[in-house]
């Protein structure tokens, strides 16, 4: 998740070493007006999810939990960097539902990418006496003192996606291996569709402002370089949003008409890039490969439809993350000895499993 799947405002801390992972195997030209309409619809859908969730738990503008923890039971406070992200909106809904089944009172707040507001939210959770605080940080450096105070008060601290200094457990993205899995999928497609002696031009949508995303991009580049040495990187541009992806794909293809592959570090660039490739006049979608990360609903649907996007990387999805965070919380509260640093699963979603994944995750 990047932008759409991670908090982009967080300064980097060294990621704890993940466990070793096995290798992961597994026209019509669209007008610009149609693309804009489609992107607007995507944004509206994300906003609708967030608004629906707001109806479940009021999120105060100034931060802090809307409800004090229920008397006599364990309670969880969750603070998110930005709940306009539909994956995270799905997460908090599942955390509330699943937590309720397990006897936990779960309340959440939205920091709206404001680090100072997030500190205040955590302070409010401490004052309310919650049992656990789950944090998707805006800025991990800003939370060193307040997370220490939470632990001193006997509260369990769980980090999500961003590395914290003071924590009891955290659930993280294995950045490099996520990128490597994406690059491996791209290389597999290149080798299946081009002769080994044939030069294949490719472009990368990265996000070099953030060191964690540099790791993800490095994984993509390393995999393609190693596994498809005939591939040549000819274009690079940052992409956080779908709009970035459209513009980048169009610019890549205008400057490099022989381009055959685009890899992206996140779902925003992948969804937009898919539309940008189509708007550039490419009618034979089998001849072009776009490879994304996040496995958003639109990405998976594009794969099912036979669009330029050939695969994406699932990191589990919001619903699964919500359950995992609650399970981690329950284990901590029960005093169990658990892995302090846990990592999201990395799964390649392509034509062989996209429909099954879509049905299981998005309801068919």
| pLDDT tens for each residue of 243-258 | 999 999 999 999 999 9
How do residues 43-99 score in pLDDT, each as one tens digit? 444 433 333 333 333 333 333 334 444 445 799 999 999 887 767 888 899 999 999
Residue 338 forms part of a structural domain: no
Whether 344 is covered by a domain: the verdict is: no
Q: Does residue 194 form part of some domain?
A: yes
Secondary structure element (H or E) that encloses residue 133, with its range: strand 132-135
**One domain for residues 102 and 186:** no
Is there a single domain that holds both residue 90 and residue 183?
A: no
Give the contacts of 336 (CB within 8 A, at least 6 positions apart). Answer: none
Residue 60 lies in a domain: yes
- Residues 238, 307, single domain; the answer is yes
Q: Are residues 233 and 160 in the same domain?
A: no
pTM of the model: 0.73
Residue 39 lies in a domain: no
Q: Are residues 55 and 131 in the same domain?
A: yes
Residue 146 and residue 132 in one domain: yes
Name the residue with higher pLDDT: 159 or 6: 159
Q: Decide if 251 is inside a domain.
A: yes
Nearest to 318 by CA among 9, 12, 97: 97
Domain span including residue 153: 44-173+317-333
In this structure, is residue 12 part of a structural domain? no
Long-range Cβ pairs for the range 116-119 (8 Å, 24+): 116/142, 117/62, 117/63, 118/63, 118/79, 118/81, 118/142, 118/143, 119/143, 119/146
Query: Does 256 share its domain with 306?
Result: yes
172 SS3 class: strand
* pLDDT, tens digit, 9 for 90 and up, residues 256-289: 999 999 999 998 899 999 999 999 999 999 999 9
Q: Do residues 244 and 98 both lie within one domain?
A: no
Same domain, 224 and 298: yes
Q: How many CA atoms lie within 13 A of 198 on its CB side?
A: 11
Residue 3 confidence class, pLDDT cut points 50, 70, 90 = very low
Q: Are residues 206 and 221 in the same domain?
A: yes
On whether both 61 and 194 belong to a single domain, the answer is no
User: CATH number for the domain including 241?
Assistant: 3.40.50.2300
Q: 239 and 148 share a domain?
A: no
Domain membership flag for residue 339: no
Domain total in the chain: 2
């Amino acid at each position: 998740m990047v932008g759409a799947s991670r908090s982009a405002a967080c300064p980097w801390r060294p990621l704890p070493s993940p466990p070793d992972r096995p290798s992961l195997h597994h026209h019509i030209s669209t007008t610009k007006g149609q693309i804009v309409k489609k992107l607007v619809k995507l944004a509206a859908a994300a906003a609708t999810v967030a608004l629906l969730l707001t109806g479940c738990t009021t999120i105060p503008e100034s931060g802090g939990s809307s409800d004090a923890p229920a008397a006599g039971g364990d309670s969880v406070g969750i603070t998110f960097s930005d709940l306009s992200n539909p994956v995270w909106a799905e997460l908090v809904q599942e955390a509330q539902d699943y937590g309720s089944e397990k006897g936990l009172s779960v309340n959440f707040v939205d920091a709206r990418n404001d680090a100072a507001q997030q500190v205040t939210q955590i302070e409010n959770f401490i004052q309310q006496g919650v049992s656990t605080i789950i944090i998707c940080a805006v800025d991990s450096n800003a939370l060193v003192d307040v997370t220490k105070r939470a632990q001193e008060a006997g509260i369990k601290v769980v980090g999500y996606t961003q590395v914290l200094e003071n924590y009891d457990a955290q659930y993280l993205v294995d950045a490099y291996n996520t990128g490597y899995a994406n690059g491996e999928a791209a290389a597999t497609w290149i080798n299946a569709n081009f002769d080994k002696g044939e030069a294949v031009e490719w472009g990368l949508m990265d996000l070099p402002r953030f060191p964690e995303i540099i790791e993800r991009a490095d994984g993509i580049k390393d995999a393609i370089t190693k596994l498809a040495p005939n591939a040549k990187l000819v274009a690079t541009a940052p992409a956080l949003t779908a709009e970035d992806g459209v513009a980048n794909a169009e610019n890549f293809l205008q400057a490099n008409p022989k381009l055959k592959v685009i890899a992206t570090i996140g779902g925003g660039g992948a969804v937009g890039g898919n539309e940008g490739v189509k708007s550039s006049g490419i009618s034979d979608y089998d001849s072009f490969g776009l490879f994304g990360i996040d496995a958003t609903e639109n990405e998976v649907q594009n794969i099912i439809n036979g669009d330029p996007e050939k695969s994406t990387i699932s990191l589990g999805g919001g619903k699964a993350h919500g359950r995992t965070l609650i399970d981690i919380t329950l284990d901590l509260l029960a005093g169990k000895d658990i892995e302090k640093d846990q990592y999201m699963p990395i799964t390649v979603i392509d034509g062989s499993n996209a429909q099954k994944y879509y049905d299981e995750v998005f309801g068919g």
